[in-house]
């Protein structure tokens, strides 16, 4: 008496409606690519180029925060002079930043 009958609506499943239902998901992936994936790939490319360009006399900061001057470069390792007469060997991947020349005055 007070309750009306509920009838199911017919679904219009045309090609336009299925494309429109996937459009927000596609849009989210496009935004994700431009905001997260592309900048990360750019940083990786810059880091790789910096590691390949390391040369004797460059001043660097390692991932652990050590400052040093490059005294020897091999394929996988870099020897850093962290103080007069004190050298350490680190992996090339541990070099985080290349500093401008003359930044480290104490060496």
pLDDT digits (tens, 9 = 90+) for 15-51: 667 778 888 999 999 999 999 999 999 999 999 999 9
Residue 8 in any domain: the answer is: no
Quickly tell me which residue has 């925060």 as its tokens.
65
Work out the average pLDDT over 101-107: 77
Q: State residue 107's pLDDT score.
A: 55
Distance between CA atoms of residues 17 and 12, nearest Å? 8
Residue 87 in any domain: the answer is: yes
**One domain, residues 62 and 82:** yes
Residue 7 in any domain: the answer is: no
Its domain, for residue 84, covers 54-99
**One domain, residues 60 and 49:** no
**One domain, residues 43 and 64:** no
* CATH code: domain of residue 93: 2.30.30
Q: State residue 56's pLDDT score.
A: 94
**One domain, residues 47 and 18:** yes
**One domain, residues 58 and 90:** yes
Pull the structure tokens for residue 3.
């309750």
Q: State residue 105's pLDDT score.
A: 80
**One domain, residues 45 and 66:** no
Tell me the residue ranges of DSSP E strands in 1-107. 59-62, 67-73, 77-83, 86-91, 95-99
Residue 88 phi/psi, 5° resolution? -125, 155
- Point out the least confidently predicted range of 4-8, 17-21, 78-82: 4-8
Residue 106 in any domain: the answer is: no
């Amino acid at each position: 008496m007070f309750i009306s009958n509920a009838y199911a609506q017919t679904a219009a499943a045309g090609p336009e409606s299925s494309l429109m239902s996937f459009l927000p998901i596609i849009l989210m992936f496009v935004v994700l690519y431009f905001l997260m994936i592309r900048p990360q790939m750019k940083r990786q490319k810059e880091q790789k180029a910096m590691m390949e360009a390391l040369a004797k006399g460059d001043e660097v900061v390692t991932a652990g925060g050590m400052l040093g001057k490059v005294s020897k470069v091999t394929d996988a390792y870099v020897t850093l002079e962290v103080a007069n007469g004190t050298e350490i060997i680190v992996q090339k991947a541990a070099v985080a930043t290349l500093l401008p020349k003359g930044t480290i005055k104490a060496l």
